[in-house]
Amino acid sequence: MARGLRLLSRAVVRLRPLPVQGPTRGFSASAQEPLHVCVVGSGPAGFYTADRMLKGHEGAQVDIIDRLPTPFGLVRSGVAPDHPETKIVVNQFSRVAANGRCSFFGNVTLGRDVSLSGLREIYHAVVLAYGAESDRSLGIPGEDLKGIHSAREFVWWYNGHPDMCHLSPDLKNTQSAVVLGQGNVALDVARILLRCKTELATTDIADYALDALCGSTIRKVYLVGRRGPVQAACTAKELREILGLKNVRVCIKEADLATSPADEEEMRSSRIQRRVYELLSKAASAHRDNSCNDQKELHFVFFRRPTRFTPSENSSTVGAVELEKTALKVDEVTRKQVAVGTGEFEDLKCGLVLKSIGYKSLPVQGLPFDKIRGVVPNLRGRVMSSESETATVETGLYVVGWLKRGPTGIVATNLHCAEETVASILEDDRKGVLRAPSDSKKHGRTGLVEILEQKNVHFVPFSGWEKIDSKEKMAGQLRNKPREKITTWDGLQKAANE
């Protein structure tokens, strides 16, 4: 209790709003209290929302809560360790957290430590930005066999996420891995499996993951896609990187590169698709006669969809993926080319399968949710009661990021998404929607701390994260790494309280 009160006391002193001398941007002199905003989730969508909220409303006080003791979401646990340039954005987010009107509450889980209804009672606006922390399922036989993981689980494992530090994928008893999907995440996990381990050793990859990868026997990685090279869902930048890996031979069947008039039309309409196809075609030609016994292999497998997983002999571990050959057909409604089965099947032997078929958001109690699309129904970020024509706006409740639009885009995509949601919040506040005269006073941060104290929740403030950050960087210096991540819940909480 005393710890929380001391933290609250410091927060109140540090964040007490200055007296208003006259009308200011987004904050009228007649306002009785600050605009209390709570952002649930501290990934890019959450921090961009906080940043735009603080800049757009001089009377806003923003609290960011996250279930992890560490901030930054997928920038820490999703961005590949060999992409340090993408992680530079945390410097901007740290400046947001240092703003006197912003506060971070780590180790706080929505639905367990505080309810959505509880947050709505104490904040004028609640913005849900907790992203997608589950996975889509293929729904085919054998999906529960050992050796089959989602790409999200594998990514969290090598990035040191505390939920996945004990995953221990078996990389020693097979020479072949199958990655289902050909998007950027699929390319990430394939690249980590194939990249030279001395190069990974100087990244912030989790130490246990580096040890496991150094002992890996995997020599072949198959990237399997339902459609063709024209429809590959990756970006040119990611594709160019994996095609340029040292000591890796790229294998693409020449027949798969044949294009139809519909393919040509798609490439005329999309510069990205055309560039991806050109890179794949060039790689196929460059590697055709360039083989070496000690090379690893990256196989692009097009026009195949998984239909079942089969176990290895006398084992509960996956031994092969049954694939059905597909063909492309133009959908009469969308006019897009879709993959349809041909009835021809083949087995692809492997001992590890990583499913990169999409992340999935999860609902919380009291939140309208479209289970089919995996998003919260919304109108420019305002949460709607449903998708129907008679749906009403959930006053004071907003959504941003993957929970708003689905698991698509890159880190920067969240900036525009956040700007749209914040514009809706500011518009609603100007119209008086968020501060109706009949409403009782909102307590914001003070009310949140009281709730957490009552439930004996030991939240981690941003200063606690800074202790974790400092300890990780110091440990990393000893091994010529940017940081040595603390990968367990207990370890993170201990470091935050030192």
- Domains defined along the chain, listed by start: 35-133+361-458 (3.40.50.720), 137-359 (3.50.50.60)
The type of residue at 324 is: E
d(CA 36, CA 440): 13
Whether the per-residue pLDDT at 25 is higher than 80: the answer is no
Lowest mean pLDDT of 9-18, 55-64, 313-322, name the range. Answer: 9-18
d(CA 23, CA 377): 35
* H or E segment and range at residue 494: helix 489-496
227 annotated as a binding-site residue: yes
pLDDT at 351: 97
Looking at the predicted structure, is the pLDDT value of residue 482 above 70? Answer: yes
pLDDT at res. 221: 98
To the question of whether residue 45 is assigned a binding role by annotation, the answer is yes
Q: Is 175 exposed, middle or buried (0-12, 13-18, 19+ CB in 10 A)?
A: middle
Residue 33: what pLDDT? 79
Query: Phi and psi of 419, rounded to 5°?
Result: -60, -40
pLDDT at 330 over 60: yes
Largest CA distance in the chain: 78
pLDDT score of 332 more than 90: no
Q: Are strands 318-330 and 337-349 parallel, antiparallel or unpaired?
A: antiparallel
Residues 6+ apart with CB under 8 A from 358: 135, 136, 407
Q: Is 74 annotated as a binding residue?
A: yes
pLDDT score at 315: 83
Q: Is 454 annotated as a binding residue?
A: no
pLDDT at 135: 86
DSSP lists the bridge partners of residue 85 as: none
Whether 64 shows a pLDDT value over 70: the answer reads yes
What is the DSSP annotation of 73-94? THHHHTS-TT-GGGGGHHHHHH
Lowest mean pLDDT among 115-129, 327-341, 448-462: 327-341
Residue 221 known to bind ligand = no
What percent of the chain is modeled with pLDDT above 90? 81
pLDDT of residue 130: 94
Position with higher pLDDT, 53 vs 2? 53
Q: Is the confidence at residue 3, as pLDDT, over 60?
A: no
What does the pLDDT read at residue 244? 96
Task: Quickly state the pLDDT bin for 242 (edges 50, 70, 90).
Answer: very high
End-to-end Cα separation, the chain, in angstroms: 18
* pLDDT tens string 370-409: 888 889 999 999 999 887 777 899 999 999 999 999 888 8
Mean pLDDT over residues 305-326, rounded?
95
Question: Is residue 279 a known part of a binding site?
Answer: no
Q: What is the residue-wise DSSP string for 13-31?
A: HHHPPPPP-S-BTTB-TT-
131 annotated ligand-binding residue: no
Q: Where is average pLDDT lowest: 6-20, 32-46, 247-261?
A: 6-20
**Residue 465 annotated as lining a ligand binding site:** no
Q: Quick one: average pLDDT of 174-191?
A: 97
Q: How confident is the model at residue 126 (pLDDT cuts 50, 70, 90)?
A: very high
Is residue 8's pLDDT more than 60?
Answer: no
Residue 257 pLDDT > 60, yes or no?
Answer: yes
Residue 265 marked ligand-binding: no
Q: Are 61 and 444 in contact (CB under 8 A)?
A: yes
Q: What single letter denotes the amino acid at residue 447?
A: G
Residues 301 and 66: their CA atoms lie apart, in Å, by 39
pLDDT at 438: 66
Evaluate if residue 349 carries a pLDDT over 60: yes
Q: In the numeric block, which tokens belong to residue 374?
A: 């995996």
Mean pLDDT, the chain, whole residue set: 91
CA distances from 303 to 11, 180, 242 (A): 57, 12, 21
pLDDT band at residue 153, thresholds of 50, 70 and 90?
A: very high
Check the annotation: does 185 bind a ligand: yes
Predicted pLDDT of residue 410? 84
Identity at 233, one-letter amino acid code: A
- Tell me the pLDDT tens digit for each residue of 419-478: 999 999 999 999 999 987 766 789 999 999 999 999 999 999 999 999 999 999 999 999
Give the length of the chain.
498
* Predicted local distance difference test score (pLDDT) of residue 389: 75
- Give the Å distances, CA to CA, from 415 to 57, 363, 377, 400: 17, 23, 20, 10
Enumerate the β-bridge partners of residue 157: none
- Provide the pLDDT for residue 32: 56
User: Number of helices and strands (H, E) in the chain?
Assistant: 17, 18
- Between 14-18, 120-124, 148-152, 206-210, the lowest mean confidence (pLDDT) is in 14-18
H or E segment at 6? Answer: helix 2-15
Output phi, psi for 320, to 5 deg.
-165, 160
pLDDT band at 23 (very low <50, low <70, confident <90, very high): very low
Does residue 2 have a pLDDT over 70?
A: no
Enter the tokens of residue 133: 């922390």
Quote the pLDDT of residue 290: 63
Q: What are phi and psi of 79, to 5 degrees?
A: -65, 135
- Asked whether 103 and 11 are in contact (CB, 8 A), the reply is yes
The predicted structure's pLDDT at residue 144: 95
The yes-or-no verdict on residue 492 having pLDDT over 80 is yes
**Quick check: helix, strand or coil at residue 169?**
coil
HSE toward the beta carbon, residue 118, CA cutoff 13 A: 20
User: Does 391 belong to an annotated binding site?
Assistant: no
> Which of 22-36, 142-156, 287-301 is predicted with the least confidence, judged by mean pLDDT?
22-36
More confident residue, 70 or 436: 70
Q: What is the mean pLDDT of residues 12-18?
A: 36
Q: Strand pairing of 176-180 and 352-355?
A: parallel
Cα–Cα distance for residue pair 152/457, rounded to 1 Å: 28
Question: In degrees to the nearest 10, what's the CA dihedral of 330, 331, 337, 341?
Answer: -90
Determine which of 122-131, 273-282, 384-393 has the lowest per-residue pLDDT on average.
384-393
- In the structure, what pLDDT confidence band is assigned to residue 181 with cuts at 50, 70 and 90? very high
Mapping DSSP to helix (H, G, I), strand (E, B) and coil, where does residue 425 land?
helix
Two structure tokens written together for 81: 């360790």
Q: According to the annotation, is 231 in a ligand binding site?
A: no
Task: Specify the pLDDT at position 334.
Answer: 86
pLDDT at residue 7 above 50? no
pLDDT band per the 50, 70, 90 thresholds, residue 262: very high
